Structure 1
């Protein structure tokens, strides 16, 4: 079995590294044309999709990265060995109340919402009288900084 591990090194510091995703790729049929299955997992989101299969793969015909890329592509694209369309950046409305700019977390698409919510867990939230759920809001500048990689 192959295990591909994705680590985040904040600021390039190995001492602060943490695993954020893994891919387990198992050979389920031997031979010159082998079959593989792949399971993808993210630390915050759990399993990504169903177990994917790459069938009749010509072993020893390319770099191991070719097999890894095909397995990951199949897992992300419903079993097809091609990449899904490139995702578009999340578009979120910015609201203004009393000159305070904010976003609603419920409008942020996944997986960005989960990552952003974790990122601002200990931060302040805007108090907006028209919106009843204070934990569903965040400052617009925090969202912008998050998207720019500054937060």
Structure 2
């Protein structure tokens, strides 16, 4: 079995490293044309999915070709890259009928960005937007834009 581990080294320093995700690739049929099972796991989002890669010509390319194809088949269901993801387009709201503070509704943020952002918000202040149907489901617009920019 191959295990591919994705680690974050903040500032390039080993001391703060943490695992973000891993992939397990198992050879289930050897030979010139091998079959593989692959499972992707994200340490925040959990299991991403599993898939099979069949009839792979083992000695025709580097191990990185195998890894790329295995990841791709889990994410898209085929050996083609899915479309590049876009930044989430989330509506911006203003409290008190448009004259108050700008905010975003967590429920309107698509996954996986919602889960990542909610985790990032832990310990942060959040606006209590009384005129929103779910007032505790809101976040400051500045927190959202900082998150998208990679500043939080």
Q: How many residues align?
A: 149
Return the offset for 1:132: 4.4
Equivalent in the alignment of 2:32: 32
Say if 2:9 and 2:18, in contact at 8 Å, map to a contact too.
yes
Equivalent in the alignment of 1:101: 102
TM-score, length basis structure 2: 0.93
Say if 2:26 and 2:38, in contact at 8 Å, map to a contact too.
yes
Return the offset for 1:131: 1.7
- Answer yes or no: is 1:41 the counterpart of 2:27: no
Aligned mates of 1:9, 1:140 — CA distance in 2: 28
Say if 2:129 and 2:136, in contact at 8 Å, map to a contact too.
no
Gaps of 5+ in 2: none
TM-score, length basis structure 1: 0.94
Gaps of 5+ in 1: none
Equivalent in the alignment of 2:73: 74
Deviations 1:14-52 (A, max 9, x none): 211111111000000010111111000001111112x21
Q: What RMSD, in angstroms, separates the aligned Cα atoms of the two structures?
A: 1.1
Equivalent residue of 1:47, what SS?
A: strand
Say if 2:38 and 2:51, in contact at 8 Å, map to a contact too.
yes
Say if 1:37 and 1:54, in contact at 8 Å, map to a contact too.
yes
Return the offset for 1:121: 1.1
Which structure is higher in helix share?
A: 2
